[in-house]
């Protein structure tokens, strides 16, 4: 039998969290760092990366910030080289970076479609391909992809976002089958409505109406999502793969 704190310990793991400058990614980086992992958290700007390094230093998390455009193969390639040489690869990859460019389909511009698919879905292909090689060598790894309840429910005005988020699920199941024999798990976490910059533009009245439809009667916090990611990254989640865990307060029950 293993003690609960050992089951959830990430001592010895090296984690990469994309989009760790704020919101859910910042919460995930914090939770995994506090659990003992070395964490590389990414931002799209030098200032954002420096702020992550400083945040980690202040709370005693081992790791640093790094600039990454997850939609760019060149940027992912540079990040891989940098992390391989400084941290010796990653054992836990959390694909969290994401954007929205909402519009009804008939008004949706090519750029709105392309940028959401590139940032939210092609990024997962690029980072997984770049970092799974090191995991294969170590015969140990975790890939955790942050999708959305919208990928399962759909939402008017978000055909691009829903397509990307649903695409992650099929991608993750396929990769889980490819790499399971090497001790690597691949899972999806699908948050509902979480209080971050992404939802803060919603008018207060709309937010209250939304909360009333959620069985748990509130929007989620970043910790609600980070706790599930910690479970999947740790030994506690070792026998879970190809799975999607919904973290939505009961808004949508699969
Ligand atoms: N909030 C919700 O209710 C909710 C619900 C379901 C799913 N999600 C998903 O959860 C994830 C995080 O959402 P959030 O609400 O925390 O978002 P957020 O507060 O808007 O933060 C987005 C993060 O992604 C980074 N990012 C944006 N474009 C990027 C790119 N091209 N390459 C690398 N990083 C990039 C941002 O970096 P910068 O700070 O440098 O811009 C930031 O760190 C997203 O995938 C989102 O779709 C969110």
The model's pLDDT over 72-128, given as tens digits with 9 standing for 90+, comes to 999 999 999 999 999 999 999 999 999 999 999 999 999 999 999 999 999 999 999
Nearest-CA residue for atom 20 of ligand 1: 198
Residue 1: its pLDDT value, please?
86
- Tens digit of each residue's pLDDT (9 = 90 or more) over 34-76: 999 999 999 999 999 999 999 999 999 999 999 999 999 999 9
Average pLDDT over residues 220-242: 98
| Residue 201 pLDDT level (bands cut at 50, 70, 90) | confident
Longest dimension (CA), the chain: 57
DSSP 247: E
pLDDT at 199 over 90: no
Residue 240 has pLDDT above 90, yes or no: yes
- Spell out the residues 6+ positions from residue 184 whose beta carbon is closer than 8 angstroms to its own: 132, 135, 136, 140, 141, 142, 143
Atom 2 in ligand 1: residue holding the nearest Cα? 194
Tell me if residue 137 falls in helix, strand or coil.
helix
What is the predicted pLDDT for the residue at 68? Answer: 99
pLDDT of residue 57: 98
Is any atom of ligand 1 closer than 6 Å to the C-beta of 144?
no
Position 202 scores a pLDDT of 86
Output the CA 26–ligand 1 centroid distance in Å: 10
144-189 pLDDT tens trace: 999 999 999 999 999 999 999 999 999 999 999 999 999 999 999 9
pLDDT 10s digits, 130-151: 999 999 999 999 999 999 999 9
pLDDT band at 200 (very low <50, low <70, confident <90, very high): confident
Quickly count: other Cβ atoms within 10 Å of residue 74's Cβ.
Answer: 9
Averaged over 192-217, what is the pLDDT? 92
Active site members: 161
Ligand 1 contact, 23 CB (< 6 A):
yes
DSSP 214: S
Which atom of ligand 1 approaches the CA of 193 most closely? Answer: 3
Tell how strand 38-43 and strand 244-247 pair up. Answer: unpaired
Is any ligand 1 atom within 6 A of the Cβ of residue 91?
Answer: no
Can you tell me the distance from the alpha carbon of 128 to that of 159, in angstroms, rounded to the nearest whole number? 24
Ligand 1 center to residue 23 CA distance, Å?
7
Ligand 1 within 6 A of CB of 249: no
Q: Quick check: 243 pLDDT over 90?
A: yes
71 lines ligand 1 (CB under 6 A): yes
Domains of the chain and CATH, by start: 11-247 (3.40.50.720)
Mean pLDDT of the region 228-234:
98
Q: Which of 98, 144, 153 to mutate to test the pocket of ligand 1 (most atoms within 8 A of CB)?
A: 98
Q: Where are the beta strands (DSSP E) in 57-199?
A: 63-67, 92-95, 141-146, 184-191
For 17-38, write each residue's pLDDT tens digit: 999 999 999 999 999 999 999 9
């Amino acid at each position: 039998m293993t003690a609960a704190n050992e089951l959830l310990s990430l001592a010895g793991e090296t984690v990469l969290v994309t989009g760790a400058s704020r919101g859910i990614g910042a919460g995930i980086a914090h939770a995994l760092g506090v659990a003992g992992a070395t964490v590389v958290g990414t931002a799209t700007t030098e200032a954002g990366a420096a702020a992550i390094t400083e945040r980690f230093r202040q709370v005693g998390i081992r790791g640093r910030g790094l600039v990454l455009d997850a939609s760019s193969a060149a940027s992912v390639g540079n990040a891989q080289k940098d992390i391989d040489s400084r941290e010796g690869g990653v054992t836990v990859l959390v694909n969290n970076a994401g954007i929205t460019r909402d519009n009804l389909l008939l008004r949706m511009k090519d750029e709105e479609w392309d940028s959401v698919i590139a940032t939210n879905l092609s990024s997962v292909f690029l980072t997984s391909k770049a970092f799974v090689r090191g995991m294969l060598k170590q015969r140990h790894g975790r890939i955790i992809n942050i999708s959305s309840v919208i990928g399962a429910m759909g939402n008017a005005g978000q055909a691009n976002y829903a397509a990307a988020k649903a695409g992650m699920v099929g991608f993750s199941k396929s990769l889980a089958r490819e790499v399971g024999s090497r001790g690597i798990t691949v899972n999806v976490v699908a948050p509902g409505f979480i209080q971050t910059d992404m939802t803060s533009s919603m008018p207060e009245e709309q937010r209250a109406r939304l909360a009333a439809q959620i069985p748990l009667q509130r929007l989620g916090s970043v910790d609600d999502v980070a706790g599930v990611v910690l479970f999947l990254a740790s030994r506690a989640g070792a026998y879970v793969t190809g799975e999607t865990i919904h973290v939505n307060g009961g808004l949508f029950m699969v």
